[in-house]
Structure 1
């Protein structure tokens, strides 16, 4: 079907093989349980909208803006958020992505700056150049207590920017993170096993209690990164110490 009207989204239902081109909604609600299959959104803006518990299957989002919207508990399977022609992603800044799931998606060049990522799940997805500056997986509850949890696993996050992000206790295993930026990020007790960390920038990163076993560590400069309490394997020592001029040999 050709260009569809965005107003119909607020009535909910099942949307299949449609194309939404242009237009915007501000502060509207799409009913929970609404499903989208093989739907394309092009140059669409949904700002400050309630988009909770929606289901997207094989959908395409081209140059869309979802800033300050809430995607709590929504699921995305085999969805594309990257426009190859313009080499640009979608904007999801300040979004609430708590309990959202992205599986086999392409989030390359998307902007998730200051997004709330508590209990998010992203797996087997592309995210080259993704920006999640100041995003946080920490959720504050009554009494001043903080919960921290989230999973980004088996993804290609090369050149992603996590400057100032708080990924405390997140599961980040199996990711390609070459040339990613973690300056001033918080990775306390994060699981970073079996990751590619070549060429990362990690000035001022906090990693106490993180698990880096099985990861490629040649990009970490121990003169700039506080590795106090970080867990590594014996076989990884040389990658950290040889850049300092030390010669690591077997006894």
Structure 2
């Protein structure tokens, strides 16, 4: 998936109209530009639909976006703190240079989504479904992927710190490009993943412990 570097590079850039005012529950946002806006706890947009839209330099703090749908949405330089994205649906979208902290996104579905130079801190993606998702040059710190399904997911240039994978199912997940893999749990869930030989050596002690293998040289 090709990701636009700038707003002007979007194929629908000339159609975008600037958004003013709050968000609405089940609102329809087609070819809308959200630029330098702040949405707080009082903003509720459950079930809202975003199509061919752009979000730049926005702040979302405690915003309710449960079950929102994002189709061909470009998000750049925005911050999400304590936001509810539970059971949200993302398709053909990209997040660049964004920060997500304390975000609840369990049960969400992400398909053909790229996250580039993003920082994810304590993001809850339990039981989520990730298909053809790329985390490029990202930091995933204490991200919970327990029970999630990762199909064709890649982590080039990304660092995984205390990531939870217990009960997750990995299919063609490629971890070879990750610059660090530190799992809090779920080492046995790496079945189905592709890793490099150096990464295998780094993970060997944890894998041995998970499998109940005692390693002794004498």
TM, length-normalised to structure 1: 0.71
User: Residue 56 and residue 184 in structure 1: after superposition, are their counterparts in 2 closer, same or farther (change >3 A)?
Assistant: same
Which of residues 78, 87, 92 is equivalent to 1:119? 92
Q: Secondary structure at the match of 1:241?
A: helix
Which of residues 181, 198, 202 is equivalent to 1:217? 181
Which of residues 73, 98, 101 is equivalent to 2:52? 73
Which of residues 70, 83, 108 is equivalent to 1:110? 83
CA RMSD of aligned residues (A): 2.0
User: Residue 240 and residue 76 in structure 1: after superposition, are their counterparts in 2 closer, same or farther (change >3 A)?
Assistant: same
1:153 maps to 2:153: no
Tell me, in whole angstroms, the C-alpha distance in 2 between the residues paired with 1:74 and 1:116.
15
CA contact (8 A) 1:218 1:239 kept: no
Query: Which residue does 1:175 correspond to in 2?
Result: 138
**CA-CA distance at 1:109 after TM superposition:** 1.7
Q: Secondary structure at the match of 1:219?
A: strand
Tell me, in whole angstroms, the C-alpha distance in 2 between the residues paired with 1:104 and 1:53.
19
Q: Report matched runs for 1:222-233 at 5 Å.
A: 223-228=187-192, 230-233=193-196
Tell me, in whole angstroms, the C-alpha distance in 2 between the residues paired with 1:149 and 1:61.
26
Structure having the higher strand fraction is 2
- Structure 2: tracts of 5 or more residues without a match: 1-14
User: Residue 58 and residue 222 in structure 1: after superposition, are their counterparts in 2 closer, same or farther (change >3 A)?
Assistant: closer
Tell me, in whole angstroms, the C-alpha distance in 1 between the residues paired with 2:78 and 2:106.
20
Q: Report matched runs for 1:126-205 at 5 Å.
A: 126-137=99-110, 148-205=111-168
Tell me, in whole angstroms, the C-alpha distance in 1 between the residues paired with 2:122 and 2:40.
21
**CA-CA distance at 1:190 after TM superposition:** 0.5
Q: Report matched runs for 1:87-98 at 5 Å.
A: 89-98=62-71
- Corresponding residue pairs, total: 194
CA contact (8 A) 1:220 1:240 kept: no
Tell me, in whole angstroms, the C-alpha distance in 1 between the residues paired with 2:187 and 2:46.
38
Tell me, in whole angstroms, the C-alpha distance in 2 between the residues paired with 1:239 and 1:221.
15
Q: Secondary structure at the match of 1:242?
A: helix
Q: Secondary structure at the match of 1:240?
A: helix
Q: Secondary structure at the match of 2:201?
A: helix
Which of residues 52, 56, 65 is equivalent to 2:34? 56
TM, length-normalised to structure 2: 0.81
**CA-CA distance at 1:221 after TM superposition:** 4.5
Tell me, in whole angstroms, the C-alpha distance in 2 between the residues paired with 1:153 and 1:115.
19
Bigger relative contact order, structure 1 or 2 (CA pairs below 8 A, ≥6 apart): 2
CA contact (8 A) 2:166 2:186 kept: no
Structure number, greater radius of gyration: 1
Tell me, in whole angstroms, the C-alpha distance in 1 between the residues paired with 2:167 and 2:188.
7
